[in-house]
Amino acid sequence: MIRAIPQIGHPVLRRSCEPVSADELSSSEVQTLIDDMIETMRDAEGAGIAANQVGVSLRICVIGLESNDRYPYKPPIPLTVLVNPELSFIDDAIYLNNEGCLSVPIRGDLPRQMNIDVGALDRDGNHFARTYRGLTAGTVQHEIDHLNGMLIVDRIEDTRTMSTWAMFQEHKMDRYLERIRPAIEATEPKEA
Ligand code: NI
Domain extents in the chain: 11-187
Distance of CA 93 from the midpoint of ligand 1 (Å)? 22
Distance of CA 145 from the midpoint of ligand 1 (Å)? 8
Give the CATH fold of the 11-187 domain: Peptide Deformylase (3.90.45)
pTM recorded for the entire structure: 0.96
At 182, is the pLDDT very low, low, confident or very high (cuts 50, 70, 90)? very high
Region of poorest pLDDT, from 63-67, 99-103, 104-108, 167-171: 63-67
Instruction: Give dist(CA 12, CA 7) in Å, integer.
Output: 9
Q: In terms of C-beta density within 10 A (0-12 exposed, 13-18 middle, 19 or more buried), how is residue 162 classed?
A: middle
Angle at alpha carbon of residue 52, lines to 25 and 107, rounded to 5°: 135
- The 8-class DSSP code of residue 12 comes to G
Distance of CA 50 from the midpoint of ligand 1 (Å)? 7
Catalytic residue among 29, 39, 143, 191: 143
Closest C-alpha to 29, from 51, 44, 7:
51
Spell 15-34 as b/e; 16+ CB within 10 A means b.
eebeebeeeebeeeebeebb
Distance of CA 102 from the midpoint of ligand 1 (Å)? 5
Distance of CA 91 from the midpoint of ligand 1 (Å)? 24
What mean pLDDT, rounded, does the chain reach? Answer: 96
45 is catalytic: no
